[in-house]
Structure 1
């Protein structure tokens, strides 16, 4: 499997998954996204990814992403960027190696795409 996949190809695969396509932002998360703006929220995404996903062996892998409490968390589950297992299965990013900057930015772009198309974001970033 390639290290990076075309975002639209992965998007269409995710939308065929009843589980992945069922995620929506609740009113609190939607208000947060609108108040802060997509750029700020994606800054948070970069911080979360760097701390929670980027290490070769993340702490609590498979359970490190909460299900709610921030728009990024919801987007991560919707885009299968929530843990290293999902990254490997859906995006072809192997476990056991630290994520490089390009991989981390790919994940942020996937989250941004979901926020734009499904999350009620304020447009492309």
Structure 2
């Protein structure tokens, strides 16, 4: 387990973040389009909605449903700059660097892929 997996596991234990699951239409998007297309969507959405130094409607820019990336953003605490600062140690007030954008997209995609992997109880 690497650092990102450990962080996502810790975030997933928070009572608000733990209730997010990939269901219905959001899951169907991944089934139909595939994770590669969803990753591209994540890259585009992060670039437009989260990467600027002061995103429009920060704190309210990410819907709770309508696309698997939106659900994953809430589940991984990558939904706004406040959550990025609090949970991911990425400070607000400046544009995201390319490496930070890649990190956010990777966190989102790992969570989505994890929704397809059965969770085994600890041994």
Q: Tell me, yes or no, whether TM beats 0.5.
A: yes
How many aligned positions are there?
A: 116
Partners of 2:114 and 2:86 lie apart in 1 by 22
Identify the residue that residue 71 of structure 2 maps to in structure 1: 74
Partners of 2:9 and 2:35 lie apart in 1 by 22
Identify the residue that residue 120 of structure 2 maps to in structure 1: none
TM-score under structure 2 normalisation?
0.90
Greater relative contact order: 1 or 2 (C-alpha under 8 angstroms, separation 6 or more)?
1
Identify the residue that residue 87 of structure 2 maps to in structure 1: 90
TM-score under structure 1 normalisation?
0.88
Q: By how many angstroms is 1:16 displaced?
A: 1.6
SS of corresponding position for 1:18:
coil
**What 5-or-longer segments of structure 1 have no aligned partner?**
none
Identify the residue that residue 34 of structure 1 maps to in structure 2: 31
Cα shift readout 1:41-80 (whole Å, capped 9, x = no counterpart): 0100000000000000000000010110000000000000
> What stretches of structure 1 move > 4 A for 4+ residues in a row?
none
CA RMSD of aligned residues (A): 1.4
Partners of 2:48 and 2:96 lie apart in 1 by 11
Cα shift readout 1:14-60 (whole Å, capped 9, x = no counterpart): 12212111101221111111000001001000000000000000000
